[in-house]
Amino acid sequence: MNDSDTIPTGYETAENHRSGFVAVIGRPNVGKSTLINALLQEKINIVSPRPQTTRSRQLGILTTAEYQIVFMDTPGLMQPRHKLDEFMVETAVESLNEADVVLWLVDGSEPVGPGDQAIAEQLQGLDENIPVILAINKSDATVPENVIPHTEAYQALAPEAAWIFFSAQRGDGRSELLNLIVQALPEGPRYYPPDQVTDIYLRDMAAEFIREQVMLQLRDEIPYGVAVQVDQFKERDNGVTYIGANIFVERDNHKAIVIGAKGSQLRQIGAAARKEIEALLEGKVFLELWVKVEPKWRRNENALKRLGYSKPD
């Protein structure tokens, strides 16, 4: 055996090992990121009550001795309104074509809507060899009289799919869902080292944690027009990680709201984000934030590219 035939340390697997890429799709705000964080038992994706929290594809990697699942957390599928939405929808659709398994997450507490029907139509064009799992989420938030009519309506959209009614937040049925996913995976090798849980760079995760706090703390339309870019990320001699980041908004009045009276709102955002980043890095962080206006950046291809919302050339 020559060097090219050897398996790198950490990639060795047992017999009948299963692995593959699982595209997690669904309408905005159905709980995709919440589910992936719960299954990984680690926060890699930001979560907020607002739709369109996830903007780009993020990998969450779950490895055991028996399997490796590479979850592809995708933006919610919706009708695009501007260039950013177009990027998000394109990202989600591309993930479908690269998946070994499709996990379609729906909100069981709500009746089937036009967005769900559009996704069902999208899945009809999927390769028939790619298994689909219908995960009907929010069992904890569904009133009893709606359980049967809602689950039957969702099943009718994907009659060939394995399905489960569960709660990503509370955990009811979560282990059963994980078993469904594992059984749907093909046998195969590990694609990532066993200790890797995501493909996201630390500086990008820091930017997302900052944006999460903007979404959690502000109201109305402002969070949708916010982007965060980390300019500096370095560990100083005293062991403290210095992070400098820009928060981009589309209007001057939005800038004033993000900053708040005498900087109070920006300090609150920074303090909450710093705690999340310190937990991620397991060390002290000095976080410095600036707010800048980038008019109509969601509709500007050049601005989207600068902020990381574009496909590689």
Is 3-184 a CATH 3.40.50.300 domain?
Answer: yes
Cα radius of gyration (the chain): 21
Sequence spans of domains, the chain? 3-184, 202-306
With bands split at pLDDT 50, 70 and 90, how would you rate the model's confidence at 78? low
Contact 244, 286 (CB under 8 A): no
Contact 107, 119 (CB under 8 A): no
As a CATH number, domain 202-306 is 3.30.300.20
With bands split at pLDDT 50, 70 and 90, how would you rate the model's confidence at 4? very low
Residue range 54-80: average pLDDT?
80
Share of the chain above pLDDT 70, in %: 84
With bands split at pLDDT 50, 70 and 90, how would you rate the model's confidence at 75? low
Cα 138 to Cα 31: distance, rounded to the nearest angstrom? 8
Cα 230 to Cα 204: distance, rounded to the nearest angstrom? 7
Record the pTM: 0.73
Q: What is the pLDDT of residues 146-205, one digit of tens each?
A: 999 999 999 999 999 999 999 999 999 999 999 999 999 999 999 999 988 887 788 888
pLDDT, residue 148, reads 97
DSSP lists the bridge partners of residue 228 as: 247
Q: Does the pLDDT of residue 304 top 70, yes or no?
A: yes
Q: Which of 67, 66, 90, 64 is nearest to 78 (CA)?
A: 90
Contact 223, 50 (CB under 8 A): yes
Q: Helical H runs in the chain?
A: 32-40, 83-98, 114-124, 144-157, 174-184, 202-217, 252-259, 264-281, 301-306
**156 token code pair:** 């009718």
Q: What is the pLDDT of residues 82-123, one digit of tens each?
A: 677 676 667 666 777 789 999 999 999 999 999 899 889 888
pLDDT, residue 125, reads 82
Q: Does the pLDDT of residue 139 top 70, yes or no?
A: yes
Q: Which of 222, 227, 212, 224 is nearest to 274 (CA)?
A: 212
Of the given ranges (15-24, 36-45, 48-57, 104-113), which has the lowest mean pLDDT? 48-57
pLDDT, residue 42, reads 85
pLDDT, residue 239, reads 85
Residue range 27-50: average pLDDT?
82
With bands split at pLDDT 50, 70 and 90, how would you rate the model's confidence at 2? very low
With bands split at pLDDT 50, 70 and 90, how would you rate the model's confidence at 247? very high
- Residue 22: CB partners within 8 Å, gap ≥ 6? 69, 70, 71, 72, 99, 100, 101, 102, 103, 181, 185
Cα 286 to Cα 279: distance, rounded to the nearest angstrom? 13
